[in-house]
């Protein structure tokens, strides 16, 4: 982890993963743990991009075919990475929710192994290793200091895993979820607002966009392990990406910048920010670097 002294921040750099995102952890845990017979018809996943990259990489390691269903407007860099790992890509018209529906139907039709990005205990257990590594990095620090761990949230698999991993730690930890104002599904659920009244708009944070699957196990887990949920604006996402490049030299994607933006807006305190990925669209990065 990177320590930013003037801000009191540890940055957990999942943008440095082999696939550029934490999603690799859950995909590996799910796919590498399967018997060969369970993979005989391949694997199917739906993704805005990063989960697809993780599933494609894990499937490549096992020598099985992966099919990734992505929204029509998925980030090109992520789609190219999925293809480079040998997976096939199928596009779905509409946003992530539509891609997830198409992916589930495809898995049922082909009897392939369905790999959810969040609604799966094995995937969540893989993401929980982020929490274990944070605890390892904080070991030896005063236990009377409360650390905030700020995590970007979409379906809730990452924050649920981190919260479960850290729940019985001797460290004092406060788990904070961050979502874009434009896609506040889990925030609405957490604070008891009707999901049918949520209005979603286009967000720069493509990896956090889309509704959460009805009945997802992450709903209950988030209520158990998360202490607070916050929302950030699109402007704050831009500014956090720019700050990270200029001040720390780390390239992050907008979804990761959501958590960083939340941290930068809070009073200075010991905290860890999970930089969930670095697979930013080339055009977005050019705008961030030029300050436009």
Reported as a single tens digit per residue, the pLDDT across 160-183 is: 999 999 998 888 999 999 999 999
CATH number reported for the structural domain that contains residue 95 in this entry: 3.40.50.1100
Average pLDDT of span 262-269 = 88
148 and 213 both lie in a single domain:
yes
Same domain, 76 and 158: no
Write down which residue in 94, 114, 134 finishes a domain: 114
What percent of the chain is predicted at pLDDT more than 90? Answer: 80
- Segments of 99-245 assigned E as strands: 113-114, 146-152, 172-180, 228-232
Counting the structural domains of the chain, the total is: 2
- Same domain, yes or no, for 128 and 212? yes
Indicate the pLDDT class of residue 131, thresholds 50, 70 and 90: very high
**Residue 255 shares a structural domain with residue 191:** yes
Phi-psi category of residue 94: left, alpha or beta, with phi > 0 → left and psi -120 to 50 → alpha = left
Are residues 278 and 175 located together in one domain of the fold?
yes
Percent of the chain with pLDDT over 70: 99
Mention every residue, 6+ apart, whose C-beta is less than 8 A from residue 99: 46, 47, 48, 69, 70, 71, 92
Q: Of the candidates 93, 114, 135, which is a domain's last residue?
A: 114
Tell me the sheet residues that pair with 68. 45, 89
The whole-angstrom separation of Cα 213 and Cα 122 is 17
Q: What is the pLDDT of residue 171?
A: 86
Residues 133, 83, single domain; the answer is no
Pairing state between β 43-46 and 9-13 = unpaired
CA distances (Å), origin 178, targets 12, 150, 208, 230, 277: 15, 7, 10, 5, 15
Region 140-150 average pLDDT: 87
For residue 196, count other CB atoms closer than 10 A to its CB: 6
User: Do 185 and 213 contact (CB within 8 A), yes or no?
Assistant: no
pLDDT digit string, tens, across residues 208-245? 988 898 899 999 999 999 999 999 999 999 999 999 99
176 plus 191 within the same structural domain: yes
**pLDDT at residue 18 in the model:** 94
How far apart CA 123 and CA 221 sit, in angstroms, is 14
CA atoms of 111 and 273, how far apart (whole Å): 39
The Cα–Cα gap between 14 and 21 comes to: 5
Mean pLDDT of 104-133: 97
Of 27-31, 71-75, 180-184, 273-277, least confident by mean pLDDT is: 71-75
Compute the average pLDDT of residues 77-104.
93
Q: Are residues 127 and 97 in the same domain?
A: no
Distance of CA 127 to the CA centre of its chain: 9
Confidence class for position 291, pLDDT limits 50, 70, 90: low
Same domain for 215 and 87, yes or no, is no
Same domain, 31 and 13: no
pLDDT in tens, 183-202: 999 999 999 999 999 999 99
| Residues of the domain holding 46 | 23-114
Q: Could you tell me if 127 and 186 lie in one domain?
A: yes
Neighbours of 215 (CB within 10 A): 8
Cα radius of gyration rounded to whole Å, the chain: 18
Average pLDDT over residues 35-45: 96
Q: Which of 63, 80, 114 is the last residue of a domain?
A: 114
Rounded-to-integer distance, Cα 210 and Cα 100, Å: 10
Same domain, 153 and 272: yes
Mean pLDDT calculated for residue range 81-106:
93
- Confidence class for position 292, pLDDT limits 50, 70, 90: low
Mean pLDDT of 126-134: 97
Q: Per-residue pLDDT for 143 more than 80? A: no
**What's the token pair of residue 231?**
């929302």
E-strand ranges in 1-100 read 2-4, 9-13, 43-46, 66-71, 88-92
What is the overall mean pLDDT for the chain?
93
In the DSSP assignment, the letter for residue 247 is I
Residue 42 has pLDDT above 90, yes or no: yes
């Amino acid at each position: 982890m990177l320590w930013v002294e003037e801000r009191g921040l540890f940055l957990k750099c999942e943008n440095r993963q082999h696939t550029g995102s934490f999603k690799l952890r859950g995909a590996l845990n799910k796919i590498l743990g399967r018997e060969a017979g369970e993979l005989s018809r391949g694997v199917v996943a739906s993704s805005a991009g990063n989960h697809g990259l993780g599933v494609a990489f894990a499937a490549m390691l096992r020598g099985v075919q992966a099919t990734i269903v992505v929204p029509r407007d998925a980030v090109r860099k992520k789609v190219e990475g999925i293809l480079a790992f040998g997976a096939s890509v199928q596009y779905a018209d509409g946003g992530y929710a539509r891609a997830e529906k198409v992916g589930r139907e495809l898995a049922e039709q082909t009897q392939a192994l369905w790999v959810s990005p969040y609604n799966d205990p094995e995937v969540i257990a893989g993401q929980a290793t982020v929490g274990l590594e944070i605890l390892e990095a904080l070991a030896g620090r005063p236990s009377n200091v409360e650390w905030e761990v700020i995590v970007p949230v979409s379906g809730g698999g990452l924050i649920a895993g981190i919260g479960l991993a850290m729940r019985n730690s001797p460290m004092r930890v406060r788990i904070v979820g961050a979502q874009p104002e434009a896609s506040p599904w889990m925030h609405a659920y957490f604070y008891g607002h009707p999901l049918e009244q949520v209005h979603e708009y286009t967000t720069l944070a493509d990896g956090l966009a889309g509704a959460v699957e009805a009945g997802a196990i992450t709903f209950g887990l988030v209520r158990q392990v998360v202490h607070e949920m916050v929302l950030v604006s699109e402007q704050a996402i831009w500014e956090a990406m720019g700050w990270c490049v200029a001040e720390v030299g780390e390239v992050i994607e907008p979804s990761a910048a959501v958590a960083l933006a939340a941290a930068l807006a809070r009073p200075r305190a010991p905290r860890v920010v999970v930089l969930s990925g670095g697979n930013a669209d080339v055009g977005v990065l050019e705008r961030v670097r030029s300050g436009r």
